[in-house]
Structure 1
Amino acid sequence: MANQFWLLLIISFVSVVALSSPANGLSVSYRNKRLPRFPRYTFQNRTRIKPFLHEYRYETKFFSQQLDHFSFADLPKFPQRYLINSDHWLGASALAPIFLYCGNEGDIEWFATNSGFIWEIAPKFGALLVFPEHRYYGESMPYGSREEAYKNATTLSYLTTEQALADFAVFVTDLKRNLSAEASPVVLFGGSYGGMLAAWMRLKYPHIAIGALASSAPILQFEDIVPPESFYDIASNDFKRESSSCFNTIKDSWDAIITEGQKENGLQKLAKTFHFCRVLNSTDDLSDWLDSAYSYLAMVDYPYSADFMMPLPGHPIKEVCRKIDGASGDASILDRIYAGVSVYYNYTGKVDCFELDDDPHGLDGWNWQACTEMVMPMSSSQENSMFPADDFNYSSYKKDCWNTFRVNPRPRWVTTELGGHDIGTTLKSFGSNIIFSNGLLDPWSGGSVLKNLSDTIVALVTKEGAHHLDLRPSTPQDPEWLVEQREAEIRLIHGWIQTYRLEKEAKFSSLKSSS
């Protein structure tokens, strides 16, 4: 498919790098590049989180959810999975809060186990924790199965942000009623696409939740709000700040790949150089694989070792550039690139070869969302980007969406439904109690809110932070700036809850005195 369509997807927004572990190698399936790249749940993620599930105690339950909240058609309901922990909840009588994580585009267990901050502050607030899963992901499948849910444009038509937000609103309202906790305040949390949902839910359902922590939430990455080059420019600068020679080597490698691929047996030689288990179909396969790795490295350039997308060392881009720059003098440019990218794909050294399993259908939930309403224009500039130069072309994008799903995108719908243009004036006038937290190493920070919009619409920005780092579990290696960022978030959330309780108490006292 044309590069313009794939410029927009990868999430929770990813050119999905779905990973599994066959007996003789690491299987990597991914979509073409140039689609919004959010961290995505994969089979390998599932394998890696299992040993850590015991660290977080929760019950897994299902809620019977409406398929369509905006019509009265008699449609079948579907089971929406949610995780719940009440170990520290002080109960409804204490007006103890409910912390709700807005599920992303993937299995909710993956997001729950990578959101340690919420678990760690629950005892401090006496909070109930709930993690509802996003419809059409994980085990929350309409129509009884993934196969039926993803069957065609008609069955997929209920996969929208509006329906997902309504799911969360209906779910938590019913939960509070069942717990006789109608008066308990709800605080929303979310990272990446989940952060977008948290911010949007606070704006769209202000009576449901008293505030939202929206981490790495690019709510401005839509038509004509921010430059479409911002993602790839920031990702490129993350490499350039470590090493200009590393940046230039990567920038020059794309032409080297094409040149090598055009030679006799060139694709076979490329497959051998990069240790693929089979011959490449085209040089695009390799370029997309590299594009995906560099983009994710920029997102998870954490200051300590982590196992979020892949097992990686602390400051992984620094390590990638060390490998590229430190290769032997007779190493070719492609040998250098392989040495560097192996930090991402094979840091453990356990993979013998990489097997590319490209799904030609692309019938992935996030691809559908990007082809309908989550149209997030992305380009790569010739001057500032180390990635191949590429301009967003909506006509090509629209054509590819039609060829894939038989659907036409609505590029202005998100900003019509949820806002985005002149965000400062809008949120200052109509919004409150939202924290937009961002790290400037994160490529998605270019589409996020980076300055305070009012006393209660607050931006917490860290120069060295990466993709929703603040939501991850604390570690002894946390730098001071990260500790301070989380402390600021705790203070703001505490203030929301205190204000809410004081208003409730004042209202109760007023009613009591009038009676």
Structure 2
Amino acid sequence: MHSPPVLAFLLIASSWNAAYGSSHFFQGKYRGSLKGLPASNHSTSYGAPGEQYFPQKLDHFNEANVTTWPQRFWVQDKFHKPKGPVFVMIGGEGPENPIWLTQGQWIGWAEKFGAICFILEHRFYGKSHPTPDLSVESLQFLSSEQALADLANFITNQTAARNLKDSKVVTFGGSYPGSLSAWFRSKYPHIVHAAISSSAPMVAVEDFADYAVVVKNSLNRSSPQCVQNVQAANDALQAALKNPDSAKKLQDLFQLCTPVSNENSKKDLENLVESLAGNFMEVVQYNRDNRAFEGAQATNITIDTLCDIMTHDSTDTALQRYARVNSLLLSATSQECLNFTYESFLEPLANTEWTDETSAGGRQWTYQTCTEFGFFQTSDSNNQPFAPMFPLKFFVDQCRDLFGLSEEVLKNGITETNTYYGGRDLKVDHIVFVNGDIDPWHALGITKRHGHNAPAVLIKGAAHCSDMYPSRDEDIPEVKLARVIIEFFLRKWIGWFAEA
């Protein structure tokens, strides 16, 4: 998968955690949202403009349906100069955060190039509610294709209303919005002149087993012994789950909310193993990024932090060290215990009301993965360090249990997505594709040049959407260079009115 990038991933899941005690990281996203809400009131805290609402069409592909709904957006025009470009930050699978109208790389470029900036929240996320609820009947209007049409309608309307029709439009997005940014340039080239696509999965795939492979490779950079001990811990965990006496001891060791017993289903145990693996997946994906400016928690926990725990000289077993990592993440996210049951996992995702905290994005994003993308981060590869206990079936069954969708629907949706958008073979120009090679999502991204006017930047040592955050002294040189490259192409494509 914020503003900013599915990138600005804050732990709005803190309320989720308090209520449900479940792992807050799932399928490469934070449960409840891909990115989060600001730590306090939007506008007063950050000096960001207030929210506005645009009357959006419910169904862009049915002319007989004239229903509209209020889509949330923000606009920042303090940098705008005559003939300056229009910058649009594309929203993703969570509430948008207007702090991105005051900070982030794109704001620096907006000041240099005299741009007017918009953030458009994605339908069905945050406060952009197209339907009365989140029932399956309502969710039929949630798709990337509808979201792109929302963008087209919004940009066309706003540029006309603000006398900006002669200005060049540039879209920005990270993770899933990064995909949307590239796809928008591909499908609506008459509306958008250029696009920045950061950490974007461009290929839909049912079994994203390579995610865990990249996690292993990223951990290995810190310490090969770290990977070996993670593997040893998972071997021990798998063995313990098969032994009733050993399984009972896991409750105290891993701070589980309930004991592991014969009463637990296979899915309970799969969910437990996947949740513990998620501790490592989360830290690897966001390693050393700058989410802290939004108020994100635990950003000081890095790959090195985990590997120090897994390799530090002590008499602890690998399983005990693995448990210490879990305790660290529980504490950092204000959880007293880990609720590993499958039922507890499904409960918030089954909620169909807008009033619940969990309606911020978890159910919606899961629906999109079940109907369009897959992206299921399984343990199906033999070249990954976790116990092979969260296979594809574990995720496919969730589509059935939550939405009544079969695997055939999922497979057909993935085929349609790749056929419609073109996967890595899309024919485009005026796009910069940016990825970090530590980030597991780069395995589904475009990391090689697509021609002179569609460059790809693969940042060595960088994590998810790291190029999009505000600059800081401790940013690695490779990230700093990537931003220079992006600015070079923006300057090339935007034109003469950019500052010299």
Give the structure-1-normalised TM-score: 0.81
Change (3 A) 1:247 1:315: same
Larger Rg: 1
* 1:416 aligned to which of 419, 427, 445: 419
Q: Distance in 2 between matches of 1:79 and 1:449?
A: 34
Tell me, which stretches of 5 or more residues in structure 2 are unaligned? 351-362
Query: How far apart in 2 are the matches of 1:393 and 1:323?
Result: 30
* From 405, 413, 431, the counterpart of 2:403: 405
| Paired position in structure 1 for 2:387 | 388
Could you tell me which of 306, 325, 334 is aligned with 1:320?
Answer: 306
Displacement after TM superposition at 1:105 (Å): 0.6
Q: Report what 1:438 is aligned to.
A: 435
Q: Secondary structure at the match of 1:46?
A: coil
Please give the alpha-carbon distance, in whole angstroms, between the structure 1 residues aligned to 2:149 and 2:35: 31
1:301 corresponds, among 255, 279, 287, to 287
SS across alignment from 1:180? coil
Query: Take 1:115 and 1:41, find their aligned partners in 2: how far apart are those partners?
Result: 24
Deviations 1:177-236 (A, max 9, x none): 11111111110000000100000001000011110000001103437xxx9432211111
Q: Deviations over 1:400-455 (max 9, x none)?
A: 5344313322220111211115x1xx42xxx1100000110000111111111111
Correspondence for 1:243 among 198, 218, 223: 223
Percent identical among aligned pairs is 26
Whole-angstrom distance in 1 between the partners of 2:275 and 2:390 = 20
1:71 counterpart residue number: 62
Aligned ranges 1:81-480 → 2 under 5 Å:
81-90=72-81, 94-109=82-97, 112=100, 116-144=104-132, 148=133, 150-152=134-136, 154-222=137-205, 228-264=208-244, 266-279=246-259, 281=264, 282-302=268-288, 306=292, 311-312=297-298, 314=300, 316-326=302-312, 328-329=314-315, 331-347=316-332, 352-354=336-338, 357-360=344-347, 362-363=349-350, 364-376=363-375, 378-380=377-379, 382-389=381-388, 401-407=399-405, 408-409=409-410, 410-420=413-423, 423=425, 426-427=426-427, 431-480=428-477
Matches of 1:288 and 1:193, distance apart in 2:
22
Q: Distance in 1 between matches of 2:19 and 2:477?
A: 37
How many residues get paired? 466
Over 3 Å counting, the alpha-carbon distance change for 1:305 and 1:125 in structure 2 is: closer
In structure 2, relative to structure 1, the CA distance for the partners of 1:111 and 1:221 (3 Å cut) is: farther
Deviation at 1:172, TM superposition (A): 1.1
Q: CA deviation at 1:19?
A: 2.6
Q: CA deviation at 1:392?
A: 6.6
Partner AA of 2:135 in structure 1: K
Matches of 2:109 and 2:274 in 1, distance apart? 39
Alpha-carbon distance in structure 1 between the residues aligned to 2:180 and 2:113: 23
Distance in 1 (CA, whole Å) between partners of 2:101 and 2:323 is: 31
The alignment partner of 1:275 has SS state of coil
After superposing on structure 2, the runs of 4+ consecutive aligned residues of structure 1 that deviate more than 6 Å are none
> What is the alpha-carbon distance in structure 1 between the residues aligned to residue 331 and residue 43 of structure 2?
21
Confirm or deny: 8 A CA contact 1:305 1:314 kept in the other structure: no
Q: Secondary structure at the match of 1:212?
A: strand
Deviation at 1:371, TM superposition (A): 1.2
CA contact (8 A) 2:25 2:282 kept: no
Residue deviations 1:93-151 (CA, integer Å, cap 9, x gap): x211111011111101178379711222221111111110110111001224xxx2x12
Aligned partner of 1:46 among 37, 44, 50: 37
Assess, with a 3 A threshold, how the Cα gap between structure 1 residues 126 and 306 changes in structure 2: closer, same or farther.
same
Structure 1 CA distance for aligned equivalents of residues 111 and 456 of structure 2: 25
Give distance in 2, aligned partners of 1:241 and 1:71. 51
- Asked if the contact 1:277–1:353 (Cα under 8 Å) also holds between the matched residues in 2, the reply is yes
